[in-house]
Amino acid sequence: MIDIKYLREHPEEVKENIKKKFQDEKLPLVDEVIELDKARRDAQKEADELKASRNTLSKQIGALMKEGRKEEAEEVKKQVAANAEKLAELDAKQAEMEEKVTKIMMVIPNIIDPSVPIGRDDSQNVEVQRFGEPVVPDFEIPYHTDIMEKLKGIDLDSARRVAGNGFYYLMGDIARLHSAVISYARDFMIDRGFTYCVPPFMIRSNVVTGVMSFAEMDAMMYKIEGEDLYLIGTSEHSMIGKFIDQIVPEEELPYTLTSYSPCFRKEKGAHGLEERGVYRIHQFEKQEMIVVCKPEESPMWFDKLWQNTVDLFRSMDIPVRTLECCSGDLADLKVKSVDVEAWSPRQKKYFEVGSCSNLGDAQARRLKIRVDGKDGKYLAHTLNNTVVAPPRMLIAFLENNLREDGSVAIPEVLRPYMGGKTEIRP
């Protein structure tokens, strides 16, 4: 959510930003919110004048009563009562205008960084850099669930009977590999100076609307029936929510946290063959990283965060690339975003395994996360990035470490978490 003062003073820049995001249907909202904001401020001004008048009239009543001029005092009291009724009307009008302004401001997209490429959708995202040499082996690589089934590592049929589509049972060494990756990612981030955290896996609606757009919430979140609670789609939500309504000392920044959590997502819509299996599911586990920092430090932290994911995957010999998200592919709260994609030898292309985002002060404005600095209070900047999400990471891992005989090599960094195993065999 952008600053209402900025929108008021730079309406054309806000409109141009909307156009860059190819959301022209939102252009009328800028003028609408300016009109509503003016009506709210006019009501505020009139209310302030009435309050000042009330104080003057109250003193006048006291003076008239002392002088024994009761009839005149009673007339002034009637004026005070009329003013009180008008003040109540103005207060109600202000509250109504404020609610309307907030509702509109929640859907006007954040101002994107000047470096963001302009494009309509993800087909126009821009490759930035490749890390590692993508390899296609001489032998055929099966679909990832076929690899897992040959290793007796997955049971989709039982999961469908128990919970429906979009769930799985991981078994044996594949289940162990899943846990190994999570544990390794945790220690990897701790070694990089991040504080480990296990957050709440449910959050209240005021946190949900503070960290994401309404469209994202509807597409992702599961609501707990009868309670003001939602299952998290990523631990970023509860991790940023940790600082709601807080004024944090500037000297404590930055907060750098890495968190483990299960994640729950609706995953609405139809998806192609390559997004079946364990690629797009309703329940998975993830290691996340978030940063709360000074505004001037967020570009530096943005680059550090995506580099952490690249380094993690490269430590397991998985080739990756970074992809800059274009304007039309950015969620409304984001200032800038980079996807990390892993190489798929089977598909002979890269696929998304993580996303790094700088949200500027948008989440902080919604959640009222302020910093107490030497020159006064200001809004913090928030960033988040996926360390690793094992379902997709497992696909990349199995395809890039599969041998022709059906065994899977275990990279050295994971062996301590796999009981010293160097391979998984059928």
Q: Residue 276: its pLDDT value, please?
A: 61
What CATH number did the domain enclosing 89 receive? 1.10.287.40
Residues 215 and 286 in one domain: yes
DSSP 328-378: GGS-TT-SEEEEEEEEETTTTEEEEEEEEEE-TTHHHHHHT-EEEETTEEE
**Total domains, the chain:** 2
Residue 381 sits in a domain whose CATH number is 3.30.930.10
- Domain for residue 113, yes or no? no
Residue 266 lies in a domain: yes
* Distance (Å) of CA 421 to CA 408, 415, 418: 11, 6, 6
Q: Is residue 150 domain-shared with residue 198, that is, in the same domain? A: yes
pLDDT tens-place values along the chain, 426 residues long: 899 999 999 999 999 999 999 999 999 999 999 999 998 888 888 887 877 777 677 667 667 677 777 777 667 677 777 777 778 878 888 888 889 999 999 999 999 999 999 999 999 999 999 999 999 999 999 999 999 999 999 999 999 999 998 899 999 999 999 999 999 999 999 999 999 999 999 999 999 999 987 777 778 899 999 999 999 999 999 999 999 999 999 999 999 999 999 999 997 654 444 446 788 889 999 999 999 999 999 999 999 999 999 999 999 999 999 999 999 999 999 999 999 999 999 999 999 999 999 999 999 999 999 999 999 999 999 999 999 998 899 999 999 999 999 999 999 999 999 999 999 998
Residues 216, 182: contact at Cβ < 8 Å? no
The answer to whether position 112 is within a domain reads no
Q: Domain check: are 141 and 94 in the same one?
A: no
Give the angle 337-340-341 at the CA atoms, nearest 5°.
135
Q: Are residues 350 and 282 in the same domain?
A: yes
193-228: burial string, b at 16+ Cβ within 10 Å, e else = ebeebebbebbbeebbebbbbeeebeebbbeeeeee
* Domain of 38, in residue numbers: 4-105
Question: Residue 330: left (phi > 0), alpha (psi -120 to 50), or beta?
Answer: beta
pTM: 0.88
Judge if 344 and 234 occupy the same domain: yes
How far is CA 70 from each of CA 64, 73, 76, 96, rounded to the nearest angstrom?
7, 5, 10, 39
Do both 338 and 228 map to the same domain? Answer: yes
> Are 194 and 268 found together in one domain?
yes
> Is the bond leading into 254 cis (omega within 30 degrees of zero)?
yes
Residue 360 sits at φ, ψ, to 5 deg, of: 55, -135
Token pair 């960033």 is found at 383
Are 236 and 302 members of one domain? Answer: yes
DSSP state of 66: H
What do you get for the CA distance between the two ends of the chain, in Å? Answer: 52
In a domain, 117, yes or no: no
CA distance 18 to 33: 14
Asked if the structure places residue 68 within a domain, the reply is yes
Q: Are residues 60 and 150 in the same domain?
A: no
Amino acid, single-letter form, for residue 264? F
Q: Are strands 370-373 and 247-249 parallel, antiparallel or unpaired?
A: parallel
Q: How far apart are CA 259 and CA 289, in angstroms?
A: 6
Same domain? For 284 and 149 the reply is: yes
d(CA 408, CA 390): 16
Angstrom distance (rounded) from CA 129 to CA 320: 9
Assess if residue 111 is contained within a domain. Answer: no
Judge if 25 and 165 occupy the same domain: no
Is 43 found in the same domain as 126?
Answer: no
CB 258 within 8 A of CB 287: yes
What is the distance between the alpha carbons of residues 271 and 224, in angstroms, rounded to a whole number? 26
| Residue at 194 is within a domain | yes
Q: Could you tell me if residue 150 is inside a domain?
A: yes
| 205 within 8 A of 245, measured Cβ to Cβ | no
